[in-house]
Chain A
Amino acid sequence: DAKTTQPTSMDCAEGRAANLPCNHSTISGNEYVYWYRQIHSQGPQYIIHGLKNNETNEMASLIITEDRKSSTLILPHATLRDTAVYYCIVRVRNGGSQGNLIFGKGTKLSVKP
């Protein structure tokens, strides 16, 4: 089973920041938080990942709470093309195997004009 809890759906106005929350209260010390998104009928797209520090790349920012039990993905200026299902995944980063991804149901983000 997925180790994360996300809201089923969210709306965001175009041009505004989209803040997508994720709870992972049972996360272990060696587990990272990964975010993927899936636009309808396409394969999941990697967005960002982090361990305990906040991370930023060209797509988004990831804010992880100090206790690591929750995180927020921030799309700073949402566009209509950001409408997708967003998946928050915790994943072990140690060990020999790459580890498979366990997807939950994700959050369906709808960006509206």
Chain B
Amino acid sequence: KAGVTQTPRYLIKTRGQQVTLSCSPISGHRSVSWYQQTPGQGLQFLFEYFSETQRNKGNFPGRFSGRQFSNSRSEMNVSTLELGDSALYLCASSLGHSGNTIYFGEGSWLTVV
């Protein structure tokens, strides 16, 4: 059974640009959540989608957005990139019900220059 797949694995963007990251959850999983990891702030929750609806949201500015498609695949977008957005972005999936184990992908490394 394939795990959580994230693309691209590495990318470099310029300040002011926007970026879209993609995530394919484990087959059968309906919940997808996104996390940001930086050396200074550690792992922080961005948002969670379930059945194409945002169900939870962390404390991030509106430049960070996401969506989920009918096949449960998800994308997150960051607009007007800032240097501080350089981070490892992690996608995680689960069946989506209370207490289901959450499994992570390998992440997308974003560098903003």
Contact = CB atoms under 8 A, between A and B. Distances in A.
Interface in B60-112: 88, 90, 92, 94, 96-107, 109
Given A97-B48, A98-B99, A44 B43 contact: yes
Contact of A49 (B43, B56, B101): B101
B56 A94 contact: no
A26 to B, nearest CB: 19
Contacts of B48: 97-98, 100
A30 to B, nearest CB: 10
B103 A46 contact: yes
Q: Which of A43, A46, A93, A101 has the most CB of B within 10 A?
A: A43
Interface residues of B, number: 30
Contacts of B55: 97-98
A41 B10 CA distance: 11
A55 B90 CA distance: 27
Nearest to A36: B104
A42 B106 contact: yes
22 contacts: A43-B90, A43-B92, A43-B104, A43-B105, A43-B106, A46-B103, A46-B104, A94-B98, A94-B99, A97-B50, A98-B50, A98-B94, A98-B97, A98-B98, A98-B99, A99-B98, A100-B48, A100-B56, A101-B35, A101-B102, A103-B44, A105-B42
Interface of B: 4, 31, 33, 35, 42-45, 48, 50, 55-56, 58, 88, 90, 92, 94, 96-107, 109
Contacts of A94: 98-99
By size class, the interface of chain A is 20 to 34
Interface of A: 32, 34, 36, 41-46, 49, 87, 91-105
Contact of B33 (A95, A100, A103, A105): A100
A103 B56 CA distance: 16
Contacts of B56: 97, 99-100
A9 to B, nearest CB: 15
A99 B90 CA distance: 16
